[in-house]
C-alpha cells in the first residue's frame, strides 16, 4: 500500500511538473520487450541513486536471456547507471531490462537522463598468472564440448572446460529441429525401415554435393544409433522421428514433447556434467594451443582477472564455427557482407585460428551455409521442422515457387530470386498444436494470422485469389500424396486446413560454417603435412569435411554428439585416463 501511494504520489507530482528530488525514494515497475514477451522490472530509486532493480516477470530463454536477468540488475545498481554493458549474447534481454528501468524511473517521476551516463571504465585490473592442471582440456562448452567432457569423464579423465561466453551452449543451444540418426530403436518402433545407415550416408553426401569426407560421414552414420542411445543413458532421450529436410527419409530424432533439440540437449548434458563434477570455467577465452616438441600439451587462456596456463595431456577443440565473424567469412565469400546471421556472438572461429597457428590443415572454408527461413528483424531461425511437419513457402505473389524441402542451398537460392528476395512460411493451427517452436514464434510476434485464407492473404498483403488457389492446390496435393507442381516428397503427412492460419516473412541468413579444421575419424587434428598432431583433437562445427558443400538439417546435432563422444573417449585414452564408468 505504501509503495502504491509513493508511485501515485510520484505520478501526480510529475503530472504537476515536479520532479522527485534526491532522497525521495520510490519504488516503481517498468516493462521492456524481451525475446519472448514482456520483461517487467521493479526499481527502487530517488533522483540520484538506483538502490535496487529486480526482474519480477519474464519469459526469456533459459541459459541465455536468464543470464542477463540474473546479472544485469546488479550491474545497474553497482554502477548507478542504465548505460552498463549488455550481457554478451543476451542483447535483446539486456535492452529489455534497461528499457524497463527507464520506464519505471520515468513513471515514478524520476528523470532517467542522469543515469544514462556510462560508468567510468575501471582501470584494467592487473592480471594474475595462474597455472591449472588436468588430463583433458576442452575448449568450448557447446554441444561438442559438453558431450566430449561428459564422455572423457566417463572414461576416467580429469576434465577442465573453458567457455568464453557467460553461458554454455553456443550455436548448439539454437538447434531447433532434431538429430539425424540411422538404424535406431526409435525408428524400428515407428516401423521406419527405409532410412538406414546406407541411405543416411548417401543423403548426406548428396546433400553436401559429394565433396564431404566420406570416411567422416560413414563414421557419423555408423555411430549415430549408439550416440542417440547414449543420450538416453544420460537422461536425454530423442524418441520422436520425423522427415529430414533435403531427403525423403526419416532420420530426424527429437524430444518426446516436441521441444527444440538444442536447448534440450545442452540442458541435459550440462546437468550430467554437473553431476560428474566437471569444472566449466565461463567467461574464459582460450587464446593459444601450447605445443612442446610438436605435441599439444595445453592451452593459454584468459578471463577478466587472470592469465591462465592450462597444462593438459590432451586438448579438445570444440569452439564451433565462424558464422559471427564477418571479416573471416568475407575473406572466403565477400558477398556475405550484408547478410544477417543466426549465429551466437561467440562463433568467431577462434579454434580454427588457434589450430592453424600450430600447423593444422583446414578444409572447405568457403562453404558457408545460408538457412532459407530466417526472420530478418531478429535473425531468429524458423526451424526446418516446420516444413517437415507440413508448412509451405509462398512468395509475395501468393504462390509456391520451389520444393520447400529441397536442400537449404537450393531453397535459399530460389528465395533470393523472388520479389524482394524473401518469402512467407505458411502454416496452420494443427501444426502449432504439434510444435512448441511454432507457438513460440507466434508469441514472439513473428507471425501474421487470419481466420481464413483470404484474411491471412490480406495480413500478408498478397493477392487473395492467388493465395487461396495456392492453399487449395497444396491441400489437394497432400490428399493425393503427390506434389505435381514442385515434386516435394516429404513433410506431407498433414494438410494446412485447420484455422487459424499463420505466415512468417523469412529470407536466407548465415547459418553454419561447414569448413574448418581437418580431422580424421578418430577426431585427431591433421596437420598441413597430412599427419595427426599428437594430443590435439577437434569435434563439432570447428571441424570441416562432415557436411561438404551443404549441411543437411539435423546433421549438426549428429555431428556434435557422435564426434564429441569420439573426441572425449580418444582424448581420455590418449591422456592415459583409466575408465571409472562403463563406456556406454
Ligand atoms: P558445437 O556445435 O561444435 O559444439 P557451438 O557453437 O555449440 O559449437 O559451441 C562452441 C562453443 O565454444 C561456444 O559456446 C563458444 O562460445 C565457445 N568458444 C568459442 N571460442 C572459444 C574460445 N576461444 N575459448 C573458449 N570458448 C570458446
Identify the CATH number of the domain in which residue 307 sits.
3.50.50.60
Final residue of a structural domain among 478, 509, 540: 509
Residue 244 placed within a domain: no
Q: Which residue has the cell 548507478?
A: 80
> Is residue 146 domain-shared with residue 270, that is, in the same domain?
yes
CB distance 347 to ligand 1 below 6 Å: yes
> How far is it, in rounded angstroms, from Cα 135 to Cα 152?
9
> Is residue 350 domain-shared with residue 409, that is, in the same domain?
no
Q: How many domains does the chain have?
A: 3
> Is residue 416 domain-shared with residue 434, that is, in the same domain?
yes
At 428-454, the pLDDT tens digits run 999 999 888 899 899 889 999 999 999
Joined grid coordinates for residue 75: 550491474
Backbone region of residue 456 per phi and psi (left: phi > 0; alpha: psi in -120 to 50; beta: other values): alpha
Mutate to test the pocket of ligand 1, among 64, 149, 164 (most ligand atoms within 8 A of CB): 164
Helix (H, G, I), strand (E, B) or coil at 41: strand
> Is residue 350 domain-shared with residue 307, that is, in the same domain?
yes
Domain hosting 534: range is 129-171+259-367+514-576
> How far is it, in rounded angstroms, from Cα 180 to Cα 176?
12
Residue 333 placed within a domain: yes
Tell how strand 392-394 and strand 501-513 pair up.
Answer: unpaired
Cα angle, residue 141 at apex, residues 140 and 142 outer, rounded to 5°: 100
In contact, 179 and 238? CB cutoff 8 Å? yes
Helix (H, G, I), strand (E, B) or coil at 347: coil
**Other CB atoms within 10 Å distance of the CB of residue 106:** 16
Nearest partner of 181 among 514, 550, 562, 491, judged by Cα: 562
**Set 102, 400, 408, 565: catalytic member:** 408
CB distance 491 to ligand 1 below 6 Å: no
Q: Which residue has the cell 538439417?
A: 553
> Is residue 502 domain-shared with residue 522, that is, in the same domain?
no
> Is residue 139 domain-shared with residue 265, that is, in the same domain?
yes
In contact, 518 and 275? CB cutoff 8 Å? no
Residue 453 sits in a domain of what CATH number?
A: 3.90.700.10
> Is residue 442 domain-shared with residue 425, that is, in the same domain?
yes
> Is residue 58 domain-shared with residue 93, that is, in the same domain?
yes
488 is catalytic: no
Residue 188 placed within a domain: no
Mutate to test the pocket of ligand 1, among 140, 151, 269, 564 (most ligand atoms within 8 A of CB): 140
**Ligand 1 atom nearest to CA at 173:** 7
Helix (H, G, I), strand (E, B) or coil at 175: coil
> Is residue 264 domain-shared with residue 388, that is, in the same domain?
no
**Other CB atoms within 10 Å distance of the CB of residue 162:** 27
CB distance 320 to ligand 1 below 6 Å: yes
Query: How many residues are recorded in the chain?
Result: 584
Residue 274 placed within a domain: yes
Evaluate the omega torsion of the peptide bond into residue 338 and state whether it is cis, within 30 degrees of 0. no
pLDDT in tens for each of the 584 residues of the chain? 444 444 444 444 444 444 556 667 889 999 998 877 789 999 999 989 999 999 999 988 877 889 899 999 999 988 999 999 888 878 889 999 999 999 999 998 999 999 998 887 777 778 999 999 999 999 999 999 999 999 999 999 999 999 999 999 999 998 988 999 999 999 999 999 999 999 999 999 999 999 999 999 999 999 999 999 999 999 999 999 988 777 789 999 999 988 889 999 999 999 999 999 999 999 999 999 999 999 999 999 999 999 999 999 999 999 999 999 999 999 998 888 888 899 999 999 999 999 999 999 999 999 999 999 999 888 888 988 899 999 999 999 999 999 999 988 899 999 989 999 899 999 999 999 988 889 989 988 999 999 999 999 999 999 999 999 999 999 999 999 999 999 998 899 999 999 999 999 999 999 999 999 999 999 999 999 999 999 999 999 999 999 999 999 999 999 999 999 999 999 999 999 765 443 44
Residue 191 placed within a domain: no
Amino acid at each position: 500500500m505504501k509503495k502504491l501511494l509513493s508511485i501515485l504520489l510520484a505520478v501526480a507530482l510529475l503530472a504537476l511538473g515536479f520532479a522527485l528530488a534526491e532522497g525521495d525514494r520510490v519504488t516503481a515497475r517498468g516493462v521492456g520487450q524481451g525475446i519472448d514477451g514482456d520483461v517487467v522490472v521493479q526499481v527502487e530509486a530517488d533522483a540520484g541513486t538506483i538502490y535496487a532493480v529486480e526482474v519480477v516477470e519474464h519469459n526469456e530463454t533459459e541459459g541465455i536471456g536468464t543470464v542477463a536477468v540474473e546479472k544485469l540488475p546488479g550491474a545497474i545498481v553497482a554502477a548507478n547507471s542504465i548505460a552498463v554493458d549488455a550481457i554478451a549474447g543476451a542483447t535483446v534481454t539486456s535492452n529489455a531490462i534497461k528499457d524497463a528501468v527507464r520506464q519505471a524511473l520515468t513513471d515514478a517521476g524520476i528523470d532517467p537522463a542522469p543515469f544514462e551516463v556510462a560508468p567510468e571504465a575501471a582501470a584494467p585490473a592487473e592480471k594474475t598468472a595462474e597455472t591449472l592442471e588436468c588430463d583433458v582440456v576442452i575448449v568450448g562448452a557447446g554441444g561438442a564440448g559438453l558431450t566430449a567432457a561428459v564422455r572423457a569423464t566417463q572414461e576416467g579423465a580429469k576434465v577442465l572446460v573453458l567457455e568464453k561466453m557467460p553461458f554454455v551452449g553456443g550455436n548448439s543451444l539454437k538447434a531447433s529441429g532434431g538429430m539425424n540418426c540411422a538404424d535406431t530403436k526409435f525408428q524400428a518402433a515407428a516401423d521406419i525401415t527405409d532410412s538406414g545407415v546406407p541411405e543416411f550416408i548417401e543423403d548426406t553426401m548428396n546433400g553436401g554435393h559429394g565433396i564431404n569426407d566420406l570416411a567422416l560421414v560413414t563414421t557419423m552414420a555408423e555411430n549415430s544409433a549408439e550416440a542417440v542411445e547414449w543420450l538416453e543413458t544420460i537422461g536425454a532421450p530423442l524418441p520422436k522421428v520425423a522427415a529430414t529436410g533435403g531427403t525423403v527419409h526419416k532420420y530426424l530424432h527429437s524430444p518426446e514433447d516436441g521441444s527444440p533439440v538444442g536447448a534440450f540437449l545442452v540442458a541435459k548434458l550440462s546437468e550430467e556434467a554437473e553431476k560428474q563434477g566437471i569444472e566449466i570455467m565461463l567467461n574464459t577465452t582460450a587464446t593459444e594451443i601450447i605445443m612442446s616438441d610438436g605435441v599439444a600439451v595445453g592451452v593459454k587462456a584468459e578471463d577478466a582477472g587472470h592469465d591462465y596456463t592450462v597444462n593438459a595431456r590432451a586438448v579438445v577443440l570444440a569452439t564451433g564455427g565462424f558464422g559471427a565473424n564477418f571479416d573471416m567469412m568475407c575473406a572466403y565469400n565477400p558477398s556475405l557482407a550484408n547478410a544477417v546471421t543466426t549465429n551466437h556472438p561467440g562463433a568467431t572461429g577462434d579454434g580454427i585460428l588457434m589450430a592453424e597457428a600450430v600447423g593444422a590443415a583446414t578444409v572447405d572454408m568457403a562453404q558457408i551455409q545460408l538457412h532459407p527461413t530466417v526472420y530478418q528483424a531478429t535473425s531468429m531461425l524458423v526451424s526446418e521442422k516446420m516444413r517437415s511437419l507440413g508448412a509451405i513457402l509462398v512468395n509475395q505473389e501468393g504462390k509456391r515457387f520451389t520444393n520447400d524441402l529441397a536442400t537449404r542451398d537450393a531453397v535459399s537460392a530460389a528465395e533470393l530470386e523472388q520479389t524482394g528476395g524473401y518469402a512467407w512460411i505458411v502454416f496452420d493451427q494443427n501444426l502449432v498444436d504439434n510444435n512448441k517452436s511454432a507457438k513460440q514464434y507466434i508469441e514472439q510476434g513473428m507471425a501474421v494470422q487470419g481466420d481464413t485464407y483470404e484474411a491471412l492473404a490480406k495480413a500478408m498483403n498478397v493477392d487473395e485469389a492467388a493465395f487461396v488457389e495456392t492453399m487449395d492446390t497444396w491441400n489437394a496435393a497432400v490428399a493425393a500424396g503427390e506434389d505435381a507442381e514442385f515434386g516435394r516428397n516429404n513433410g506431407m503427412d498433414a494438410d494446412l486446413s485447420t484455422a487459424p492460419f499463420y505466415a512468417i516473412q523469412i529470407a536466407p541468413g548465415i547459418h553454419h560454417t561447414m569448413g574448418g579444421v581437418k580431422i580424421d575419424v578418430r577426431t585427431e587434428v591433421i596437420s598441413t603435412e597430412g599427419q595427426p598432431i599428437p594430443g590435439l583433437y577437434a569435434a563439432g562445427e570447428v571441424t570441416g569435411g562432415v557436411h561438404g558443400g551443404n549441411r543437411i538439417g539435423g546433421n549438426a546435432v549428429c555431428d556434435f554428439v557422435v564426434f564429441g563422444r569420439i573426441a572425449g573417449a580418444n582424448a581420455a585414452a590418449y591422456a592415459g585416463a583409466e575408465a571409472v564408468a562403463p563406456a556406454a
